[in-house]
Amino acid sequence: MTYKTDEIWEDKWVNTTCGVCYCGCAAKVRVVNGVPVKVEGINDSTMGGTGAGLCGKGSAGLMYYHDPNRIKKPLLRTNPEKGIGVDPKWKEIEWDEALDIISTKMKKIMEDDPNKILFTNQTMRASDGPHNHPYFYAQAFGVKNNGNFIIGGGSLHCGNACHMLGGLIHGAWSIAPDWRYTKYVLKWGSSKGTGSGHSAMTNARLRADAVRRGIKEVVFDPMGNFAGGKATEWVGILPGTDTAVGLAIANYICNIRGEMDILYLKAKTNFPYLIKDDGTYIRNKETDNPVIFDSREGKVKDYNDETLAWEDCALEGEYEYDGEKVTPCFVPFKEHLKQYTIEWASEVSTVPVGTILQVCKDWVDNAQIGSTITLEGKTYPYRPVSSVTFRGSQGHSNGIHQVAAIDLMSQLVGAEDVPGGTLGWPAIRRAYPGGNYEQTCTAGKDGVIVPSVFYSHDPWPVHAPSLPATNMGCVDIWTHCTLSHIPYVDEIDYIHEKFGMKSKPEMIFGISANFVISNSDWDTAVKNFKDCFVVQMGLWVNETDQAIGDLILPDVSYLEKDCWSSEIDAFFFSGSPSHEDWYVHMQQPVAKPIGESRFFMDVYIDVANRCGVLDKFNAKLNDYYGVEDPELQIKPGEVLTWKEIGERFLKWVYGKDTDKIQKQGYATWHKPIEDVYWRWDIDTRCPVYMEYLLHDRRGMEGIFEQTGFDAEGLEFDFNQFTPLPSWFWPESHKDLDDEFDLLAFSYRDILHTNNTTFQNPYIDEISKMCPYTFTITLNTTMAEERDLKDGDIIWIETKAGVKENGIVKTMEAQSPKVIGIAGQGGLWADGRPIAKGKGANFCKLLPSKLKYFDPVAGNMETAVAVKIYKD
Amino acid sequence: MSKDNHELIQTMFPPDGSGVKPYEWMINPTRQRQWIDKQGIFLWLAFFFTEIGAGLYFVSMFYEYKAGLVLGWLIALFLGGLIHVAYLGNPLRAWRMIMRPNTSELSRGIWVIGAFAALGFLQMVTSGGFNIVFNVIMAILCLIIISHGFTTMNVIRALPAWSSNMVLPFSIVSGVWVGQQILQLMFAITGSADLVSGMEVWAEIFFFAYFLCLVLYGWGTWHANEIGQASIKMMVNDELKIITLIGVLGLAIVLPLIFTLIMWGGQTNGFVIFLRLASIFAGDLAVRYIIMKSAVYKPLLERN
Amino acid sequence: MPRWGMVIDVKRCIACWGCTIACKEEHFLPPGVFWNRVLIGERGKYPSSSKLIYPILCNHCSDAACVEACPTGATYVREDGIVAIDDEKCVGCRACLVSCPYQQRTYYDKEVKDREYFPGQGKTEMELIGEKLYPFTLGTVIKCNFCTERLEDGMKKGQTPGVDEDATPACVNMCPVDARVFGDLDDPNSKINRMIMEHKGKQLRPEFGTEPAVYYID
């Protein structure tokens, strides 16, 4: 083989940030004669995998630049009829005309009610552009809160309960084990460290080292594939039943073994808070603070009273306060757990009793309660056990309790944000030495952490449910939704009518979200959104665009993008987890934009300018980055491109090193150990006893009563508004019967991010080499019993009559009562020919009735009762 | 609609002729394709023609029948050899194949073919060509050539289905059997009725030897190892089933048996001889086809 | 003279396919051609079954079946242990391809050359650049070369394969979980030899007797 270099006039590497999933790993791109030809990681940056490591889909990202199916000019629908299977009859138009159409429409709507404009974001954008900006961009138009956001990407399947509790407990978007020091990890429907989740490759690297070190990793999952397939032990479990096992473990720790980190419970949770009979806190009438019984002084004090020592906070006992009988909330909590026996949990979850018992024992044994570790000269409690969850277990109608139960076992042994335990992504972001952007969390009302930055919806403090609903998502009523589920709910018209929602959406201004096919039942999504004027910016015409899009604008891919801000704000989301030095990477263009494609931030700015709200947006930007230097601030009347804004803001963020960092494309700096293990240094308490839910319930019940909302008819489950993590059957299980006898679930494949990756030919050909990626998995024995074998075409049908077909692949490592489908396949957009027809679509099977959503957090029930039969 | 033609299968796993889903490649026993699929089909024909050419040459020597020699020589070299060369990716470099006779079976084959070509030519043009020394040398060369294709396959450790001890006996008998039948037909056409009738005894012997070798080949392969079993299963299942039934069972065994029984005891008939030749010609091609098509590699993952 | 080899830590590997795609980009391999793959299978019965993940590539065997089968000497074992193909000598007989028990070779013909990543939509700029930068010879056999060019270029610059990025095979660099280690099998103190000793490294299917230079540990 000859290695010919004649005819090559340029061969260079450009540092940038990967944009194929939301993790944003360090990436460098080889550019030959102006053409990007290879993507690798960056050896000198710890962001992402080992050395120059990058995962398969990251390296395949190259194809986003080369895809001839990319749209190159704005496309306008000429066929007024919308729907799946209807040809939109696109017409290419000029940018100026497109922007004119958008701004004219927006201005008209704004005069009436800006809340009639919806915005989308999708998780792909996290690393693939400024992440948080769509939220305050919307605010510049006068949109009030997160109820106007509809989500593509990981869609509603992902995160609402996880992010809510991640925020309330860790001040962070997500959690991961402290791989460096942990010894025993439980994963529940999560693939952290095995290719998915936030900072996926950084975690994968840390996990690989931990596994080599000999940690034990037990994975509870319906299938032993990505996480389970790599675990020390895979435990097959029915979807949505993790709570049962979690509560049984908590009961074991609390009531059977009785070994807890008592000091932690006293100091770092709300367990000592005194409650009344009705379960709500007793509050100091003057300060409105919850109170604690000081067992040394024998009197009741504010939780934050300076004279109250941690060890003196009473966890047990019954007291009198203001003539009322009160107890620390730990008392009923502990009592409540007693009902959750291991035998019961085994029956619910199908996990054998012996397995649960072993996990219980291993958990407490490995927790090393009372032990300490000294790191960088500081001594910390050492709790080398970690229990983490993500999309899999939380994506159920009982999602909030799933996450709470899984977190509970860590709380009981004090393994939160201490070495070896469960860590949030950093709650604190230190400024670059000599620079300025610094974010620190604070202790808020009732001692609960208030994250420094959070996406879309702050988890704390919680606002009270109120009328009328002011946006499509009705977050005035559903106050805990990170992103609201209501836009996808079938009964949306009824809900809007009852809650007086006047801002009926007229327009969507979106970023390549594929929300029609990626949430639940497609028909409901089309019905709920088709009357809007849908503008989307994207690389291709996707399924949503084809079904309901009106105007599609060509966006640049991450390889053509000049985005200085990629991860400055994403520290709590995709920054350096654990005790990894800080890293922030920016996206530098490695090639010229394809066709007339334009970076969406510049389109944002252009549209804001045309609509007369640019100054407002710019002011929000100044504020968001905390730019105090008047020279660097964007001034009223200024119209700058995103790159020009970056030239100023980066000077604020990085100070004198700006040029060096811009040239290098990334910055790394030391993260002090106290910013990693902050639990005992920041005076906050975990609201393990979810008292706020009682108030939410009261508020919502009041509203329902006032409006005559038929909660019973819609099977809205108020019982889940309980402060005690409890067992509730997920809706999918309730639908099981002799005919619909299997639970379908979906999972994240390491090769895929939502559905954009289906259009990547590298990933496509590799997906075909994976047994499970494009197929429907069935347990081998179960398949044999049903006379099904590898390669058979089967139909999956739900009680609602929705059908999807796919190819059978049997696997041993899957519970016999479930069927598995990876990612968001089953695509049909003409604009993405590689993706077309690949895999099966799981999302469409999910029913869209209100009862299938977590009443608290708005998670979708992501398992569904189905029957299967041969084609 | 057959399973593999389903639109879903077509989209997700476009057929590449392997009959293997990409994710089953080397996980399940995986068929060899280079030497039978696509241009690999040339090799199947090349092996066949070289071997029956040499077979014809071999048998013709016993009858000192020059036309047979010439035809055998031509079939082996021009049909067999040229198809061989046509199969190569770079035919113009074919001469390089003489470079590694110490390790490469192919390379050795080229030397043998070269010797066969040169000495065979000499034998054909020399008047006293059928002397004992010439005959012995040519007979040995012929037998080596007849078995060359299967020897090449036999030495491939990676394909246990070809490793059976019965490969060589079978290949020699098959080459001689087809060659003998061509010769018998040539005699039938040229009108040497006694010769034709006299040859029938040999035809009976070769047919039964062929049948026996085939059965032993199948039996040996089945019992060699589980990979061999996978090959045999492949022969009788799915797409190969029809070829096995019609080609192997029908054309290579049952029809020739019937024709042989018709002519039992020397009651030869030119037309029946022609039919039998046509039948075994196609039958032997079918046998070789399924043997090449069903050879599978041992999966790389140890799953037990 | 070193003998280059690789250790693949199966315990670390998460089957992300980074190696496979890095290799495709490094060598501009057309669709359907893989010098690196990941085999995914299962062992055992539910509920105690386990997933098997084996990244595979050319084993650069010291007693290689392909070398034995090659009639022209085009395929040969270099002094540094790399099994190389001289495309000037290859006649395209594919005896090597059939002989390789690991099936790591691809016959590069017009059909393969003409394949497009976006079928029917023409070759991308990247594919066209690849044909200039890394051309293959029609009618010959191609396979993993342990990134010989990287090794040689790197060593010319005084770098060490397996240590310095530029002198190390692309798949090793790309692995995000450090599951691949490259080094000298003849150096008893090399990292890969230590890993093979410590974790009892095994070759894949040693029964074929080809003496692979790629070891697996788990």
d(CA C105, CA C95) in angstroms, rounded, equals: 10
> What's the average pLDDT block by block, 10 residues per block, for chain B (304 residues)?
69 78 92 89 93 95 93 94 90 90 89 94 86 92 92 88 86 94 93 87 94 92 88 87 94 95 89 95 95 92 78
Helix (H, G, I), strand (E, B) or coil at B105: helix
Supply the mean pLDDT for chain C. Answer: 96
Helical (H) or strand (E) element with C110? helix C110-114
Q: How far is A624 from chain B (nearest CA, A)?
A: 46
Chain C residue numbers with beta carbons less than 8 Å from the beta carbon of B16 are 32
Same domain, residue pair A642 and A704: no
Residue with tokens 């009473």: A314
Residues in A touching B7 (Cβ below 8 Å): 837
- With contacts defined as CB-CB under 8 Å, which chain C residues touch A49? 18, 175-178
Q: Is the dihedral of CA A852, A857, A862, A863 positive or negative?
A: negative
Which pLDDT belongs to residue A124?
60
SS3 of residue A755 by DSSP: coil
Asked if B14 is an interface residue toward chain C (Cβ–Cβ < 8 A), one would say no
Q: What is the pLDDT of residues A698-719, one digit of tens each?
A: 999 999 999 999 999 999 999 9
Both A771 and A845 in a single domain? yes
Q: What is the tally of structural domains in chain A?
A: 4
Listed residue (A734, A575, A648, A747) closest to A196, CA to CA: A747
- Closest CB to C118: pick one of A30, A60, A68: A68
What are the pLDDT digits (tens) for A115-130?
999 998 766 655 566 7
Residue A803 touches partner B, C-beta closer than 8 Å: no
Q: Do C51 and A236 touch (CB under 8 A)?
A: no
Radius of gyration of chain B (CA): 20
Cβ <8 Å between C54 and B301:
yes
Angle (CA) B95 B96 B100, round 5°:
125
Neighbour tally for C113: CB within 10 Å: 12
Cα–Cα distance between A122 and A475 in angstroms, integer?
19
C69–B106 C-beta distance less than 8 A: yes
Alpha carbon of B274: minimum distance to chain C alpha carbons (Å):
35
A836 close to B (CB below 8 A) = yes
The answer to whether residue A573 sits within a structural domain is yes
CB distance C134–A3 less than 8 Å?
yes
Q: How far is B282 from chain C (nearest CA, A)?
A: 25
Neighboring chain C residues of B158 at a CB cutoff of 8 Å: 65, 98-101, 103, 208
Q: Give the C-alpha separation, A658 to A788, whole Å.
A: 61
Kindly list the residues from chain C whose CB atom is less than 8 angstroms away from the CB atom of residue B299.
41
| φ and ψ at residue A70, rounded to 5 degrees | -55, 145
Residue B160, pLDDT score: 83
SS3 B263: coil
Question: Tens digits of per-residue pLDDT, C4-59?
Answer: 999 999 999 999 999 999 999 999 999 999 999 999 999 999 999 999 999 999 99
Chain B CB within 8 Å of residue A530 CB: no
A792 touches chain B (CB under 8 A): yes
Beta carbons of B12 and A837 less than 8 Å apart: yes
Question: Amino acid identity, residue A519?
Answer: N
Subunits with 3+ Cβ pairs within 8 Å of C are A, B
From A48, A750, A779, residue closest to C46, measured CB to CB: A779
- pLDDT for B1 equals 37
pLDDT digits (tens, 9 = 90+) for A421-431: 999 988 888 99
Q: Are residues A786 and A848 located together in one domain of the fold?
A: yes
**The pLDDT value given to residue A680:** 96
Q: Which CATH number fits domain C4-217: 3.90.580.10, 3.40.190.10, 3.90.25.10, 3.30.70.20?
A: 3.30.70.20
B158 touching A (Cβ < 8 Å):
no
Residue B253 lies in a domain: yes
Shortest alpha-carbon distance between residue A67 and chain C (Å): 7
Domain total in chain B: 1
Which contacts of B128-132 are long-range, i.e. CB under 8 A and separated by 24 or more positions? B129/B66, B130/B61, B130/B64
Instruction: Show the domain range for B88.
Output: 29-296
Asked if A646 and A553 sit in the same domain, the reply is yes
**A300-324, pLDDT tens digit by residue?**
999 999 999 999 999 999 999 988 9
Is residue B280 a part of any domain in this protein?
yes
The reported pTM is 0.95
Portion of chain C with pLDDT greater than 90, in percent = 98
Burial class (CB within 10 angstroms; exposed 0-12, middle 13-18, buried 19+) of A462: buried
Contact C52 B40 (CB under 8 A): no
Phi, psi of A778 (to 5 degrees): -130, 145
Say whether residue A762 is in contact with chain B using an 8 A CB cutoff.
no
Decide if B92 is inside a domain. yes
| Mean of the per-residue pLDDT values of chain B | 90
Residue A258 backbone class (left: φ over 0; alpha: ψ -120 to 50; beta: rest): left
Q: Does A590 share its domain with A704?
A: no
Q: Verify that A521 and A635 share a domain, yes or no.
A: yes
Averaged pLDDT, A347-352: 97
Mutate to test the interface with B, among C42, C72, C97 (most CBs of B within 10 A): C72
User: Measured between CB atoms, does C71 come within 8 Å of chain B?
Assistant: yes
Same domain? For A759 and A837 the reply is yes
pLDDT digits (tens, 9 = 90+) for A491-514: 999 999 999 999 999 999 988 889
| Partners of residue A790 in chain B, C-beta under 8 Å | 21
Contacts of B107 in chain C (CB under 8 A): 71-72
* Structure confidence at residue C52 (pLDDT): 95
CATH of the domain at B37: 1.20.1630.10
- Residues of A with CB below 8 A from C132's CB? 4, 7-8
Same domain, A609 and A664: yes
- Give which of A11, A230, A356 to mutate to test C binding, by max C Cβ within 10 Å: A230
Q: With respect to residue B304, please indicate whether it lies within any of the assigned structural domains.
A: no
Exposed e or buried b for every residue in A335-351, given b needs 16+ CB within 10 A?
A: ebbeebbbebbbebbbb
Q: Identify any residues that bridge with B51 across adjacent strands, giving them in sequence order.
A: none
Q: Are A673 and A579 in contact (CB under 8 A)?
A: yes
Round to whole Å and give the CA distance between B206 and B192: 20
Question: Which of A328, A343, A361 represents a domain boundary (last residue)?
Answer: A328
Q: Report pLDDT digits (tens) over A799-816.
A: 999 999 999 999 999 999
HSE-CB of A582 using CA atoms within 13 angstroms: 25
pLDDT at A411: 98
Please report whether residue B23 resides in a domain. Answer: no
**Structural domain includes residue A108:** yes
Strand partners, A424: A175
A612-616, B2-6, B46-50, C124-128: which range is least confident on average?
B2-6
Based on the fold, state whether residues A719 and A857 are members of the same structural domain. Answer: no
Dist CA B148 CA B136 (whole Å): 18
Q: Which of A765, A805, A809 sits opposite B8 (nearest CB)?
A: A805
User: Who's near B148: CB < 8 A, 6+ residues apart?
Assistant: B47, B50, B51, B105, B109, B112, B113
Q: What is the pLDDT of residue A282?
A: 95
Mean pLDDT value across residues A559-569: 84
Mean pLDDT of A181-188: 98
Looking at beta carbons, which pairs linking A29-33 to residues 24 or more positions away fall under 8 Å?
A29/A62, A29/A559, A29/A590, A30/C25, A31/A590, A31/A591, A32/A8, A32/C129, A32/C133, A33/A8, A33/A9, A33/C129
For an interface test with B, the pick among A759, A763, A764, A768 (most B C-beta atoms closer than 10 Å) comes out as A768
Q: How many B×C Cβ pairs under 8 Å? A: 126
Residues of chain A above pLDDT 90, percent: 86
Chain C hits for A38, CB-CB cut-off 8 Å, are: 22, 25-26
The answer as to whether A834 is a domain residue is yes
- Strands across the sheet containing A26-32: A11-17, A26-32, A35-40
Residue B17, strand partner residues: none
Residue A390 pLDDT > 70, yes or no? yes
Contact A49 C12 (CB under 8 A): no
* CATH number of domain containing A593: 3.40.50.740
Domain spans of chain C, in order of start: 4-217
The whole-angstrom separation of Cα A588 and Cα A28 is 10
Model pLDDT, residue A129 = 65
Calculate the CA B146 to chain-centre distance.
8
Maximum separation of any 2 CA atoms in chain A, in Å: 92
Q: Which of C23, C35, C38, C46 to mutate to test the interface with A (most CBs of A within 10 A)?
A: C46
Q: Work out the pLDDT band at A537, boundaries 50, 70, 90.
A: very high
Residue at A510 is within a domain: yes
Q: Where are the beta strands (DSSP E) in A329-456?
A: 372-375, 378-381, 385-389, 422-424, 442-443, 449-450
C136 shares contact with chain A (CB less than 8 Å): yes
* Pick from A770, A837, A871: CB nearest B23: A770
Q: Return the pLDDT at B2.
A: 47
Is position A484 within any domain? no
CA–CA separation, A29 vs A15, rounded Å?
6
CA distance A552 to A123: 19
Q: Which residues contact C89 (CB under 8 A, 6 or more apart)?
A: B93, B96, B99, C72, C73, C74
Domain assignment of residue A714, given as a range? 690-723
Sign of CA pseudo-dihedral A100, A101, A104, A107 = negative
Residue where the block lists tokens 């540092």: A15
